């Protein structure tokens, strides 16, 4: 009889644990510095959690000081977050990876940053190269009206140009004749950065300058390639990420030009509405 009661107790305990786990709200977030903090700040902006105010933009799940819903955070490499959506209730995804995964950040996200997010995606080079004609020519092409129009027409709010006064794509201080025949190499993520660079490529080609875009699917190698001098520039990340990368790796990669912002979004996984987070449905 005791053995039978023990088996019943064990079954009840197992069922209780299962129910408890089922009741947990799970959210996958990027695990890299600044992007995890950015994801958590998005949740804080909606009153879902509260962070230690001293944590700043590099906050992690360990810096959550108020978590009334008992959310469990799964810290995942940024590019892999879309792949774990089916295993969690929600996922907070960088827009470039959302687009690569076939998600529409404006239509499919349940929560999204405002378009005035401070996380502008930037063109970067090694310190000392920012005043070269190659850097200025590339920045000018990305500052063009053609690029601004492309971003607006193609991404419909998933990426927003931050260029206040778009130009014709050329810098009057650049000696384009001296650059004729040159190749400028840029490391970029496929979406949307490489796509945007394709517009800049046409602008530079009119001056007989070749733009070679080398695509990377992670957030480490583009910076390492620039630091090593393997590519001239990169265009894939936002300023806080670049600043933090320099601080942690002893690199000196500098911003040449902010080009666009990609509002980060929260997407449904096993949950399809915001009800579990105590929020009304997104409009």
CATH of domain 120-261: 3.10.105.10
Q: Nearest 10 degrees: CA dihedral of 234, 235, 240, 246? A: -10
Q: Is 74 within 8 Å of 28 (Cβ atoms)?
A: yes
Could you tell me the pLDDT band of residue 282, with boundaries at 50, 70 and 90?
low
Is residue 256 scored above 80 in pLDDT? yes
DSSP state of 213: E
CB 184 within 8 A of CB 142: no
Burial of 32 (0-12, 13-18, 19+ CB in 10 A): buried
Please write the tens of the pLDDT for every residue from 99-121: 999 999 999 999 999 777 789 99
Angular region, 89: left φ>0, alpha ψ -120 to 50, beta rest: alpha
Q: How does pLDDT run across 27-80, given as a tens digit for each residue?
A: 999 999 899 999 999 999 999 999 999 998 899 999 999 999 999 999 999 999
pLDDT classification of 1: cutoffs 50, 70, 90? very low
Q: Is the pTM of this model over 0.85?
A: no
Residue 169 C-alpha from the chain's centroid: 26
Which residues pair with residue 26 across a beta bridge?
72
* Residue 82 near residue 103 (C-beta atoms within 8 A): yes
CATH of 2-113+265-277, one of 3.40.190.10, 3.30.70.20, 3.40.50.150, 3.60.15.10: 3.40.190.10
Q: What's the average model confidence in pLDDT over 256-282? A: 93
With H, G, I as helix, E, B as strand and everything else as coil, classify residue 225.
helix
Domain segments of the chain as ranges: 2-113+265-277, 120-261
Sign of the CA dihedral running 135, 141, 145, 149: negative
pLDDT value of position 18: 36
CA 125 – CA 191 distance, rounded (Å): 20
Per residue in 8-19, pLDDT tens? 333 333 333 333
Q: Say if 2-113+265-277 and 120-261 have the same CATH topology.
A: no
Question: From the centroid of its chain, how far is CA 120?
Answer: 10
Contacts of residue 25, Cβ cutoff 8 Å, sequence gap at least 6:
69, 70, 71, 72, 89, 90, 271, 276, 277
pLDDT of residue 12: 34
Please report, for residues 73, 74, 91, 105, 255, the alpha-carbon distance to residue 80 in angstroms, rounded to integers and kept in the order given: 15, 11, 11, 16, 27
**Residue 6: its pLDDT value, please?**
38
Residue count (the chain): 283
261: left (phi over 0), alpha (psi -120 to 50) or beta: beta
């Amino acid at each position: 009889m005791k053995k039978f009661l023990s088996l019943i107790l064990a079954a009840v305990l197992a069922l209780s644990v299962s129910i408890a786990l089922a009741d947990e709200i799970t959210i996958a977030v990027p695990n890299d510095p600044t992007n995890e903090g950015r994801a958590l700040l998005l949740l804080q902006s909606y009153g879902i959690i509260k962070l230690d105010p001293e944590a700043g933009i590099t906050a992690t799940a360990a810096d959550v000081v108020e978590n009334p819903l008992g959310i469990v955070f799964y810290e995942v490499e940024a590019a892999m977050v879309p792949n774990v959506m089916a295993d969690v209730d929600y996922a907070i995804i960088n827009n470039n990876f959302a687009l690569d995964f076939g998600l529409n950040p404006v239509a499919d996200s349940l929560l999204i940053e405002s378009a005035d997010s401070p996380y502008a995606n930037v063109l970067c080079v090694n310190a000392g190269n920012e005043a070269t004609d190659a850097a200025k020519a590339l920045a000018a092409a990305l500052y063009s009206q053609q690029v601004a129009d492309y971003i607006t027409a193609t991404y419909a709010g998933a990426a927003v140009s931050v260029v206040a006064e778009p130009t014709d794509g050329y810098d009057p201080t650049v000696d384009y004749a001296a650059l004729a025949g040159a190749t400028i190499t840029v490391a970029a993520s496929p979406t949307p950065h490489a796509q945007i660079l394709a517009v800049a490529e046409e602008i530079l080609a009119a001056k007989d300058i070749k733009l070679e875009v080398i695509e990377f699917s992670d957030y480490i190698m583009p910076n390492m390639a620039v630091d090593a001098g393997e590519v001239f520039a990169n265009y894939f990340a936002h300023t806080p990420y670049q600043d933090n990368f320099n601080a942690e790796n002893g690199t000196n990669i500098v911003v040449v030009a902010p080009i666009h912002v990609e509002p980060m979004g929260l997407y449904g996984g096993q949950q399809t509405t915001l009800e579990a987070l105590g929020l009304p449905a997104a409009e």
